[in-house]
Amino acid sequence: MRSSKTVKFLDTTASNNNESRVVLNVGGMRFETQRATLKKLPATRLSKLTPQLSYYDPVLNEYFFDRHPGAFTQILNYYRTGKLHYPTNVCGPLFEDELSFWGIQREEVEPCCWMTYTKFRSTQETLQTLDSLELDTVRSTAGDIVKKFGWQNDFHLVTTGRLKLHQRIRSIIWQIFEEPRSSKASKVVALISIFFILLSITTFIIRTLPIFEVIEYDFIDVYVDANTTQKTPLYNTQRKDAIAGFNNVEWICNSWFTFEIVLRFIVAPSKKAFIVSILNWIDFLGTFLFFFTYILYDVYNYAGHYAFIDLLSTIRVARMFKLITMHPRLRVITTALSSSTTLLSLTIYFCLLAILISGSTLYYVERLSNQSDSQILSVMDGIWLALTTITTVGYGDTVPTSLLGMIVGAITTIVGVLLIDLPMPIINEIFDNFNRHLLARQQLPKQRRRVTPAVIPRKIQPLMPPPNGHTHQHNQ
């Protein structure tokens, strides 16, 4: 009897197609593509897919990644087309994290998405700057205080968990003077400091009014005839004193300033940081000049010129900058200006360049016109005219008289308007960016829930019987 044999022909075409295609399950959304497509970008995660990876599911014949499926759409499209675009429905930092996971450089983004990319980057920089300002910190925690004062390795703190008495007093005084919103005592001290600052500046301004000046006369001998002289009063224009009440107010204000700056220096966590602070230098110089002028004029009765010393005393007005540290909005304004220093420096540079070119041109144009009534007699006069024109001040004390000079002046006016107005929208945008993020931070909750990292369960090893086939029982 003849035996029969069944021969089964395999569909090699279908097998090859299955091997050339790969299924990717990203966050519950399945994507299917060719393996050759994933090989277009070597040294990336998807270009190294093998069944031996933990991501591979042999039952479903797919690779599972617990990542964002919306961001993966653009990533897979990058493999297909070679062009990387930013998705509009995904936050920028999230998409950058996805790019880092898949092993793709974020600098590969297409030029059409550069504005989106830079917008996200500027937002991150703004948030980092706001974090460094600590605008949300009303009162430092015990851990923050220990870290600021460098007491982490203090033996008494490590052994007992408590600070020493002098350390607690120092930290309390520091919080009262440096954190004006931390407690009722700090708010009272802040109000007292603001009151004395405003009182000192108001006194400095009002005492210069003529109605409060004490007129001083010097008596000189005037010869009436050959043998007779008489005393004649002469108004001393060099000395201008005010009534004694203003000096008493100044003494009270500067006594508070002296007490404040000395106490803040004693309790400061870092003496070096305290010394290099510009606001502390303004405080110190304003107080020092008051005592210096008192010793110079009232103790040693110096009768020299007052104008230069009075000019230096105007630094006390700069104490108003101290109010910046007491209000978040004021700190945002100064931060926005400091972030715009590059743009402002370029603007000032081009303004100076335009002033020098325009001022020199105006002088030589007026000189070539041979106008007898020309008001621009030197290059300095031309620079002054260009300065007042470009800054749109326009005093009108110096003007060109020739036709060509008027044309150059008109061109200078147009250039000045462009130089000043063009950078302003950028500076306003920087300030608006800081202000909007500050308002958003104030409306968000202070404490936010933190997501803990996922714990991967360990594989349980099955209980294998001993080689002899019997299990040992332990006596309880």
Q: What's the CATH code of the domain at 388?
A: 1.10.287.70
Across residues 16-45, what is the average pLDDT? 86
Q: For position 33, what pLDDT does the model report?
A: 92
Cα separation, 343 vs 358, in Å, equals 22
31 pLDDT more than 90: yes
- Which of the residue ranges 119-128, 175-184, 276-285 would you say has the lowest mean pLDDT? 119-128
Domain boundary among 270, 294, 326: 326
63 three-class SS: strand
Say if residue 350's pLDDT is above 80: yes
281 and 376 assigned to the same domain:
no
Q: Which of 326, 281, 65 is nearest to 186 (CA)?
A: 326
In a domain, 161, yes or no: no
The average pLDDT across 289-306 equals: 76
pTM of the model: 0.61
Q: Do 322 and 197 share a structural domain?
A: yes
Closest by CA position to 371, among listed 405, 412, 409? 405
* Dist. CA 193–CA 181, nearest whole Å: 14
Ramachandran sector of residue 269 (left: φ over 0; alpha: ψ -120 to 50; beta: rest):
alpha
CB-based contact 35:21 (threshold 8 Å): yes
Residues 313 and 374 occupy one common structural domain? no
In this predicted structure, the answer to whether residue 373 has a pLDDT above a threshold of 80 is no
241 in a structural domain: yes
pLDDT surpasses 90 at 65: yes
Verify that 269 and 322 share a domain, yes or no: yes
CATH at 304: 1.20.120.350
State the pLDDT at residue 24: 93
**Does residue 202 fall inside a structural domain?**
yes
Whether pLDDT at 103 is above 80? yes
What range defines the domain where residue 89 resides?
Answer: 18-133
Helix, strand, coil percentages (3-state) for the chain, rounded to 5, are 60, 10, 35
Same domain, 348 and 293: no
Residues 316, 200 contacting (CB under 8 angstroms): yes
Give the pLDDT of residue 78: 93
Alpha-carbon distance values, 36 to 21, 22, 31, 49, 63 (Å) = 8, 10, 15, 12, 16
The answer to the question of residue 452 being in a domain is no
Q: What is the 3-state secondary structure (H, E, C) of 342-409?
A: HHHHHHHHHHHHHHHHHHHHHHHHHHHCCCCCCCCCCHHHHHHHHHHHHCCCCCCCCCCCCHHHHHHH
pLDDT of residue 217: 58
Sign of the alpha-carbon torsion through 355, 359, 365, 371? positive
Distance between start and end Cα atoms, the chain: 70
Distances (CA, A) of 181 to 37, 130, 137, 142, 461: 60, 18, 9, 16, 59
* Claim to verify: residue 63 and residue 32 sit in the same structural domain: yes
From residue 270, give the alpha-carbon distance in Å to each of 2, 241, 265, 267, 277. Answer: 103, 41, 9, 9, 11
| pLDDT at 369 > cutoff 60 | yes
Q: Write the burial class of residue 104 (CB in 10 Å: 0-12 exposed, 13-18 middle, 19+ buried).
A: buried
The Cα 76–Cα 94 span in angstroms is 16
Our measurement of the distance from residue 438's CA atom to the centroid of its chain's CA atoms, rounded to an integer in Å, reads 12
Check whether residue 367 and residue 319 sit in a common domain.
Answer: no
Residue 347 belongs to a domain: yes
Q: How many residues does the chain have?
A: 476
Whether 25 has a pLDDT exceeding 90, the answer reads yes
Q: DSSP letters along 280-335, please?
A: HHHHHHHHHHHHHHHIIIIIS---S--HHHHHHHGGGGGGGGGGGGG-HHHHHHHH
Amino acid identity at 34: Q
The answer as to whether 275 is a domain residue is yes
Distance CA 408, CA 161 (A): 76
For the chain, give the mean pLDDT. Answer: 79
- Same domain, yes or no, for 110 and 64? yes
Decide: helix, strand or coil at residue 4.
coil
Measured distance CA(12)–CA(282) in Å, rounded = 86
Query: Are 63 and 105 in contact, with CB atoms under 8 Å apart?
Result: no
- The span from the CA of 63 to the CA of 78, in Å, is 19
Residues 198 and 320 in one domain: yes
Question: Are 289 and 365 found together in one domain?
Answer: no
Q: What pLDDT sits at residue 223?
A: 60
- Total domains in the fold of the chain: 3
Angle, CA 175 vertex, CA 171 and CA 180 arms, to 5°: 175
Residue 158 inside a domain? The answer is no
Lowest pLDDT segment from 31-45, 130-144, 448-462: 448-462
Q: Which residues, in sequence order, are CB contacts of 241 under 8 Å at separation 6+?
A: 213, 214, 216
Question: Average pLDDT for residues 425-449, to the nearest whole number?
Answer: 72
Residue 346 sits in the same domain as residue 373: yes
Q: Which structure tokens are listed for 429?
A: 């945008």
How sure is the predictor about 318, in pLDDT bands with cuts at 50, 70 and 90? confident
Distance CA 229, CA 221 (A): 6
Instruction: Tokens 């008596």: give the residue.
Output: 219
